Amino acid sequence: MATVRRATLAPTRPLITPEGVDLRIKLADAGTRAAAFVLDVVIITTAAIVITIVALFGLRGIGFGGLQPLFVVWIILIFLLRNAYFIAFEAGRRAATPGKRIVGIRVASRSGAGLSVDQVIARNLMREIEIFLPLSIIAGRGGAGVADTLTTIFGLAWALLFALFPLFNRDRLRIGDLLAGTWVVEAPKLKLVEDLSRRQDPVAARFRFSPAQLDAYGIAELHKLEEVLRRDDYFALKTVADMIGKKIGVTIEAPDSRAFLTAYYGELRAHLERKLLLGNRKADKHAR
């Protein structure tokens, strides 16, 4: 029963990377996503207050004659702030805003490939339609007449419809996630572990690699390899070992998969660090 309850709270999904590795992920629950959004709104609101205070000081300098153009500039800055905030942070390496990092979740592509800027822009611009537009309609109503009451009801119903949408699909997707091909997954903070490149393994010491073999992969693949090693899943280790071995021309026996990957990880990391010192950065296996 405990297992069933855990699965309900944090459903898992297969995430197949372009290398063919299945990284099981846990979807973030609605409460955690809501908490992250509230934290982000607090940060954005604080920044908006600072912008408003600066604008008021600017108004004192230019006089009330410049009120209208200053107000237009203020509206544009607030719009850019709330959109650039989400886009800039989610397009970064961690794929998470400060609010998401605090609660331990991140954005991921449902295809298993890296999260693209286009996906981040699409999912976040949809937030304008899902949340900020109906809130703007409510805030912009003029008085307390029947028309304004209906406008308020319409705005609330609109916002509520989109807010509750993740509760009515199995992958807890927002409309923005659905259109962008993304989902929000758990990214719990892990305890620091030993440097994998320094791990002593007598079997791994048998493996040595030439520069040409190490040039087969880049920084992106190094991060994926580290993730596979830390998960320590037998089938994932064997799959990745076979894939790398085939690419660089090395045959690996099944029991030696982890030792082979540990050795390759250590030498690949050192190889890439040496190249970085020379100003040669290889982002992934497709870079030349």
pLDDT digits (tens, 9 = 90+) for 107-130: 988 887 778 899 999 998 888 888
Ranges of each domain in the chain: 2-186, 196-277
Contact 113, 182 (CB under 8 A): no
DSSP letter string, 180-219: HTEEEEE-PPPPP---GGG---TTGGG----HHHHTT--H
Q: Which residues of the chain fall below pLDDT 70?
A: 1-10, 15-23, 60-67, 138-148, 188-205, 254, 277-288
Say what the pTM is. 0.58
Contact residues for 67 (Cβ-Cβ < 8 A; gap 6+): 59
| SS3 track for 79-124 | HHHHHHHHHHHHCCCCCCCHHHHHHCEEEEECCCCCCCHHHHHHHH
- 214-239 confidence digits (pLDDT tens): 888 888 888 888 888 877 788 888 88
